[in-house]
Structure 1
Amino acid sequence: MNNLPQKVRSKKLSSRVDLTAMVSVSFLLIIFFMVVGELSKPKGMDLSLPDKYFDDEWNHVITCGSGSSERTITVLLDENNKIITYTGFLFNPLKEPKEINYGKNGIREELSTQKKTILEYSAALGKPKNGPIVIIKPSKKSNFKNLIDILDEMAINQIDTYAIVPEFTPEESKLLASK
């Protein structure tokens, strides 16, 4: 008998690698980056503002084009859920500034009646699709919820042309302080 140690043969492992999981992960990553790329594209909103012209009478004032003052509604947002609205321009308003509340019987009703009046006026001018132009001016003291509520009112009343303007004129600041 031979007492010599026998050679231990090493077990040969399979040289094939299963890439099924790697392919699945690759496809998931491709899909993920495609979705992220699509969602990260900037989205823009069309904003149509009235025409501008140079007014010879007020040789330093740029005002909106014909019929636009009749179509312009300004909504001032202030602290404590206060809304002040007027139609036209503050130096010559078509409707005097008034304080109204949020809700169905407040700003929603006001915007609805104003829209109806403006559409009738525009139809008489031969431009039936010219609806109201709403300028929303939140003060620094107003809260974010009030701005969202006003934007909701724009959607409810189907007002397409509106702009959020953060600057107040000195007259509007005095108006907010007085009311």
Structure 2
Amino acid sequence: MAEINTPNAAGGKAGARRSKKLSTKVDLTPMVDLGFLLITFFIFTTTMSESKAMKLIMPDDSDPKKDMTLGRSNALTVIPLADNKVFYYHGELNDALKSNGWGVTNYSEMDGLGKIVRNKQAALDKITPGKRKDLMLMIKPSPESNYQNVVNALDEAMINDVKRYAILDITPEEKEVAAAKSLTVH
């Protein structure tokens, strides 16, 4: 307990009658209790909120001769570009350019990359019901893209329940074609 003591103001003078002042006590115990309650509350609330991370499974690099085989119809390649643009193509690049199986879009869920992924899944389901799980989404960031573009592409994979996806290096040919096609399409 804390106390505040004040001396008597009358002193020892004769003739002047003054009232006797009592000492005042300030009890700080409730304030200390409140402080500990606040500290406890903030400690509990900060430990309850944890950061969330996306699970990213990368292929095994222990055997470099072991290649993954992938059907052309199952492949969808996405190349994030500058200005939130995405160049995409189905299958192999040269075949996609010949058959007009490419495009430039944005990250919009309804009209952009999400729609492209859903259309590809629907096309695979037309071939064989349940084949949508065989879709392989290959994300190849260009040097002009930023980290947020890659995260947006991974988010679309998660939103559309794409089980197989990979982040790969872009080839010089893909970089050249993506830059040229993104300038021609507005």
Change (3 A) 1:45 1:122: farther
Question: Which residue number in structure 1 is paired with residue 53 of structure 2?
Answer: 44
Percent sequence identity over aligned pairs: 22
Q: Which has the larger radius of gyration?
A: 2
Asked if structure 2 preserves the Cα contact closer than 8 Å seen for 1:50 and 1:68, the reply is no
Question: Which residue number in structure 2 is paired with residue 169 of structure 1?
Answer: 171
Question: Which residue number in structure 2 is paired with residue 23 of structure 1?
Answer: 33
Q: 1:114 aligns with which of 111, 117, 120?
A: 120
Find out whether 1:130 has 2:141 as its counterpart: no
Larger relative helix fraction: 2
| Secondary structure class of the residue paired with 1:45 | coil
Q: 1:33 aligns with which of 39, 43, 54?
A: 43
Give the RMSD, CA atoms, in angstroms. 4.3
Question: Which residue number in structure 1 is paired with residue 160 of structure 2?
Answer: 157
| Secondary structure class of the residue paired with 2:133 | coil
Unaligned runs of 5+ in 1: 55-59
Change (3 A) 1:176 1:72: same
* Aligned residue type for 2:174: E
Unaligned runs of 5+ in 2: 1-11, 182-186
* Aligned residue type for 2:118: S
| Secondary structure class of the residue paired with 1:30 | helix
| Secondary structure class of the residue paired with 1:138 | coil
Question: Which residue number in structure 2 is paired with residue 73 of structure 1?
Answer: 76
Larger relative strand fraction: 1
Number of matched pairs: 163
Question: Which residue number in structure 2 is paired with residue 57 of structure 1?
Answer: none
Query: How far does residue 79 in structure 1 lie from its aligned partner after superposition?
Result: 2.8
Structure 2: distance between partners of 1:171 and 1:61: 23
* Alpha-carbon displacement from aligned partner over 1:57-94 (angstroms, at most 9, x marks no partner): xxx65432x5466433210122355432123455887x
Asked if structure 2 preserves the Cα contact closer than 8 Å seen for 1:73 and 1:133, the reply is yes
Query: How far does residue 30 in structure 1 lie from its aligned partner after superposition?
Result: 1.4
TM-score by length of 1: 0.59
* Alpha-carbon displacement from aligned partner over 1:21-57 (angstroms, at most 9, x marks no partner): 2212212211212222333x45332234578896xxx
| Secondary structure class of the residue paired with 2:56 | coil
Q: 2:89 aligns with which of 86, 110, 113?
A: 86
Asked if structure 2 preserves the Cα contact closer than 8 Å seen for 1:49 and 1:161, the reply is no
Structure 2: distance between partners of 1:53 and 1:69: 25
Structure 1: distance between partners of 2:152 and 2:51: 24
TM-score by length of 2: 0.58
Change (3 A) 1:67 1:150: closer
Question: Which residue number in structure 1 is paired with residue 103 of structure 2?
Answer: 99
